[in-house]
Structure 1
Amino acid sequence: MIETKTLTCVACPKGCEVTIEYEGNEIIEIKGNTCPQGSAYAREEIVAPTRILPTTVIVKAGALPLVPVKTSKAIPLEIIPDAMEIIAKLEIEAPVKMGDVILKNILETGADVVATRNLPVLKA
């Protein structure tokens, strides 16, 4: 059965409304994109959608109780709940520096979970 999906492309600042006609993983037509990136983005959204995963990790003895983190690259959308379960169980020690790898190769995706800010030790 042929399906149609319209989405807003985020590949560039234009934000084109891209319409995709597809059957299963077979792309029949992509229209509405004004650059080649829009076509690639639409294709990926149908065949294998991915996302950067931003969240937080608990920090012991830190100036704040949580440090923001994100995956170093996009991971498959379907495994984000599993990745969140793993990350939710993490606890790290302060200090934390922006760019520190908190967890390597989450779920064998090749993506690391990295800190996105500095977090010093709590001063007494």
Structure 2
Amino acid sequence: MTNLICITCPKGCHLCVDEQNDYAVTGNSCPRGAEYGRNELLHPVRVITSTVRITGAMIPRLPVKTDRPLPKEKMFDCMQLINQITVQAPVQVGQILAANILGTDVNLVAAKTLPVYP
């Protein structure tokens, strides 16, 4: 039995996941909690948020995020890739900065619009 706290909503339900009973979940207030509990043990994923270097803008770092969750075991490899990226202003929110990260079909996108600094 594994105990988790659900992060799908602010309620923070205390989940119990029974691995020996087909990953049955108890303690959830909604179906999303049950899905989260099963997925967290079978195939955990995370959305990555970070920053990359940007040139030609008013600030030196651009906030970025993945456009969908990435397998948790690829998080550190993804961060190594992010740390190597430098983009040139202008950048629009939602603009793809790195496509198909690590062959996962997950893209890294800009989380802020930054125009060229005059």
TM-score (norm 1): 0.88
Between 1:9-18 and 1:34-43, the stretch displaced more is: 9-18
**SS of the residue 1:58 aligns to:** strand
Deviation of 1:13 (Å): 3.5
Equivalent residues, number:
118
**SS of the residue 2:8 aligns to:** coil
CA gap 1:82/1:44 in 2 versus in 1, 3 angstroms: same
**SS of the residue 1:56 aligns to:** strand
Contact 2:69 2:106 in 1 (8 A): yes
Between 1:57-66 and 1:9-18, the stretch displaced more is: 9-18
**Cross-structure match for 1:77:** 72
**Cross-structure match for 1:31:** 26
Q: Report whether the alignment pairs 1:67 with 2:79.
A: no
**SS of the residue 2:93 aligns to:** coil
Q: CA RMSD in A?
A: 1.4
Distance in 2, matches of 1:85 and 1:59, equals 17
CA gap 1:83/1:90 in 2 versus in 1, 3 angstroms: same
Aligned residue among 5, 14, 17 for 2:14: 17
After superposing on structure 2, the runs of 4+ consecutive aligned residues of structure 1 that deviate more than 6 Å are none
Distance in 2, matches of 1:49 and 1:56, equals 23
Distance in 2, matches of 1:28 and 1:115, equals 36
**Cross-structure match for 1:52:** 47
**Cross-structure match for 1:6:** 3
**Cross-structure match for 1:108:** 103
**SS of the residue 1:15 aligns to:** coil
Deviation of 1:87 (Å): 1.0
Contact 2:3 2:16 in 1 (8 A): yes
Contact 2:23 2:38 in 1 (8 A): no
Q: Report whether the alignment pairs 1:40 with 2:35.
A: yes
TM-score (norm 2): 0.92
Higher fraction of strand: 1
- Structure 2's unaligned 5+ residue stretches are none
